[in-house]
Amino acid sequence: MNSFKSHFKFNKQERSGIFFLLFFLISIQIGYYLYNTYAVNQSTPLQIDSVAQAEIDSLKIVALEKDTVRIFPLNPNFITDFKGYTLGMSVAEIDRLHVFRTKELFVNSAKEFQDVTKVSDSLLDIISPYFKFPEWTQNRKRKTAFKSNTFSLDNKLKKVVWKDLNTATAEELRQVSGIGEKLSARIIKFRDRLGGFLIEDQLQDVYGLEPDVVERALKQFKVVTKPDILKINVNTATVEELSKLIYLQKHVAQSIVNYRNLNGSINSLNELVKIEEFPSERINRIALYLSL
């Protein structure tokens, strides 16, 4: 017991040292606490990043737009079940409209739409601004006069007489803006090589003829009389017979014969597009001259 107490006996100098050590440790703790308190009080207040906040706001707006059903202009006579549902109509209201339409009747105003479907005033106020009726319904008071005028105008309209693309002369073709002496001669030469146009689209195949010029020409010319064409049997024709077709070069004709010999026969004209260098973009024209 005496030996245990001896460990806690200190002289005056040792007691002073222990006291100063404790004072030093306590001072450090107090200083650390005061420093942290001062640092928190003097810290810069939280600032809002305007750029980041603007981006967040824009994302919120996009999310809201995705959750909102957008309504586009529509003719209420042709509202489907799904469209009626998205507009907020009940099943009974949609059915009333469909029954009305089965009688070959049409609603021509928002008021008539409400009379038929029995939708509420509040719903009508929301969806009616998007209703788009035919123009003639906006002037119903003049409906009778409009019909009579149309009738008289229809009687005065002259029947359009198309010029035959297969008999047109060079002079007639030159009446089209954009077709001069060279192009008119080229069209006639191409027509002669074909044996005559079978469809109007073949005019697009004339070299040097611009699409807008073709469009203007087809406002005056049509294939009125089609030529008699002896179709080429793609399963029996020789290379020379196939190459006579203006759309097929000789090496393509040879490829067709090689493909036929390799596969036994060609069962569909659409198989031709599998052949190397075959002008697949003109298969619809080429098919007019071939048979199986």
pLDDT tens sequence across 129-145: 888 876 555 554 444 44
On whether residue 53 sits in a domain, the answer given is no
**What is the residue range of 279's domain?**
232-291
pLDDT, position 140:
47
Over 70: is that where the pLDDT of 117 sits? yes
On whether residue 157 sits in a domain, the answer given is no
pLDDT, position 143:
45
| Domain end position, chosen among 96, 120, 136 | 136
On whether residue 195 sits in a domain, the answer given is yes
| Domain end position, chosen among 120, 136, 152 | 136
Q: pLDDT tens digits for 198-247?
A: 888 888 888 888 888 888 888 888 888 888 888 888 888 888 888 888 88
Considering its fold, how many domains does the chain have in total?
3
Over 60: is that where the pLDDT of 112 sits? yes
Q: 205 and 254 share a domain?
A: no
On whether residue 143 sits in a domain, the answer given is no
On whether residue 52 sits in a domain, the answer given is no
On whether residue 45 sits in a domain, the answer given is no
Residue in this structure with the two tokens 């050590």, named with its chain if needed: 21
On whether residue 181 sits in a domain, the answer given is yes
**Cβ(254)–Cβ(237) below 8 Å:** no
On whether residue 199 sits in a domain, the answer given is yes
Domain containing 278 — which CATH number? 1.10.150
Position 40 confidence tier, pLDDT thresholds 50, 70, 90: low
Q: 251 and 282 share a domain?
A: yes
